Amino acid sequence: MTDSKKKQPFYLIDTSAEFYRPLGVRLAICISVACWAAIEAWNGDGFWGVISLAAAVYCVYVLFLTYNPPPKQEPVVRPPDTDDDDDVTPPPATAAGEERPDTEGAETSAGVGPRSDRAD
């Protein structure tokens, strides 16, 4: 059996995400859900008004009252590539209809045979 003390609580909003760190994002979420509740109450739909009001209260509770920002993570710095052996230089671009000098007499891209579109 697993120990219930080690188990993380279930939240509908994952506050460990970096998305919720800015105050403006958290305010926008709470205000939009509260506006949804007001619109439902204004339209006279009590059931959805209560549901959306409960969602707004939950958002305020999770995003402001119990919010604990996740620790800042340092960006991973990749060391510079000093090995030039793996670098592949793409062939130079050519104008439409021109052939590159290294493809004369070579097989077509389908691998069928010599190119027959050349005028000799």
User: pLDDT averaged over consecutive 10-residue blocks of the chain (120 residues)?
Assistant: 64 86 96 96 94 96 90 80 64 62 54 58
- Total domains in the fold of the chain: 1
**Boundaries of domain holding 61:** 33-68
Question: What pLDDT is stored for residue 64 in this prediction?
Answer: 93
Residue 77 lies in a domain: no
Q: Distances from the Cα of 36 to the Cαs of 5, 11, 33, 42, 95, in angstroms?
A: 36, 21, 5, 10, 58
Q: Does some domain include residue 85? A: no
pTM of the model: 0.54
Is 96 part of a structural domain of the chain?
Answer: no
pLDDT of 105: 54
How far is the CA of 91 from the CAs of 88, 95, 102, 112, in angstroms? 9, 13, 10, 22
Q: What angle do CA 52, 58, 59 make, to 5 degrees?
A: 90
What is the predicted pLDDT for the residue at 70?
A: 83
